[in-house]
């Protein structure tokens, strides 16, 4: 019979802290949430996530950006880019994001996260309304034109396998909390859209 329990130890018990998420949020003066920026490589996820963090930081908010490339230097350094490794990569980031939400922090994640099922799995980890999917929507041709890392060129040449948008699929969100047309909007306009969403959801106040 298959073992569906992800815990390899049978003697693991969750310890409930006396300093709760609610107490931390009260101290911080804002709610915690996961802002999940998804889109093709070159769609502007990291640029937008860091710009939003800058705006939030200037308001006195507690934040952290989890960036796809940075995380693969440490937490996920043992993973490649096969479908299986991509699933595990997002699973780890989802669990890490959940922990940060419990600390009262606004978590901004910038990951291609190409599979809908993986993003929905992260959404299911936290209470309703604590996961805001932000789709950085940019056509493939625009992303290829940007290609500051030269990744698309290498993928087209067959030097990189399982590259999203070329040899591996990207499943765009069906109903994201916010879709930002990053190929036509300025970074200032894009940040304003995200900040408006946060105010509407009561995450931050003016």
CATH number at residue 125: 3.40.50.300
CA geometry: angle at 182 spanning 123 and 204, to 5°? 50
- Residue 145 within a domain: yes
32 is an active site residue = no
| 3-state DSSP assignment of residue 120 | helix
Residue 102 in domain: yes
The residue among 96, 59, 26 whose CA lies nearest residue 199 is 59
| 6 in a structural domain | no
State the alpha helices, DSSP H only, in the chain: 21-28, 45-58, 68-71, 83-102, 116-123, 140-146, 151-156, 187-200
Query: 98 in helix, strand or coil?
Result: helix
pLDDT of residue 2: 41
- Digit-coded pLDDT (tens) for 56-105: 999 999 999 998 778 888 888 898 888 899 899 999 999 999 999 999 99
| Active-site residue, from 41, 46, 113, 190 | 113
129 is in which domain, residue-wise?
A: 21-200
Tell me if 16 is assigned to some domain. no
Question: Measured between alpha carbons, how far is 9 from 186 in angstroms, rounded to an integer?
Answer: 49
CA–CA dist 123, 94 (Å, integer): 8
Q: Is residue 13 part of a domain?
A: no
- pLDDT at residue 6 in the model: 59
Residue 5 within a domain: no
Instruction: Give CA–CA dist 160/176, Å, rounded.
Output: 29
Kindly report the pTM of this predicted structure.
Answer: 0.89
Predicted local confidence at residue 82, as pLDDT = 85
R_g over Cα of the chain: 18
* Residue 10 located in a structural domain: no
Closest CA to 30 of 59, 7, 73: 59
Q: Give the residue ranges of the chain where pLDDT is below 50.
A: 1-4
Nearest CA-CA partner of 31 in 50, 68, 67, 56: 56
Number of domains in the chain: 1
4 belongs to a structural domain: no
Per-residue tokens: 121: 């799995």
Are the beta carbons of 151 and 160 closer than 8 angstroms?
yes
């Amino acid at each position: 019979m298959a073992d569906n329990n992800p815990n390899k130890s049978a003697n693991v018990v969750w310890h409930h802290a006396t300093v709760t998420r609610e107490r931390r949020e009260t101290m911080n003066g804002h709610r915690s949430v996961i802002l999940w920026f998804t889109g093709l490589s070159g769609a502007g996820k990291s640029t937008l996530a860091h710009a939003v963090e800058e705006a939030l930081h200037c308001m006195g908010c507690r934040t952290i950006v989890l960036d796809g490339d940075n995380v693969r230097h440490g937490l996920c350094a043992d993973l490649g880019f096969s479908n299986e490794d991509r699933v595990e990569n997002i699973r780890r980031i989802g669990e890490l994001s959940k922990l940060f939400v419990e600390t009262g922090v606004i978590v901004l994640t910038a990951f291609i996260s190409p599979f809908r099922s993986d993003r929905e799995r992260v959404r299911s980890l936290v209470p309703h309304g604590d996961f805001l999917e932000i789709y950085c929507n940019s056509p493939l041709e625009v992303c290829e034109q940007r290609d500051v890392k030269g990744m698309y060129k290498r993928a087209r040449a067959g030097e990189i396998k399982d590259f999203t948008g070329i040899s591996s699929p990207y499943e765009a969100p069906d109903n994201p909390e916010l879709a930002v047309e990053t190929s036509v909007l300025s970074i200032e306009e894009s940040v304003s859209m995200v900040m408006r969403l946060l105010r509407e959801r009561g995450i931050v106040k003016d």
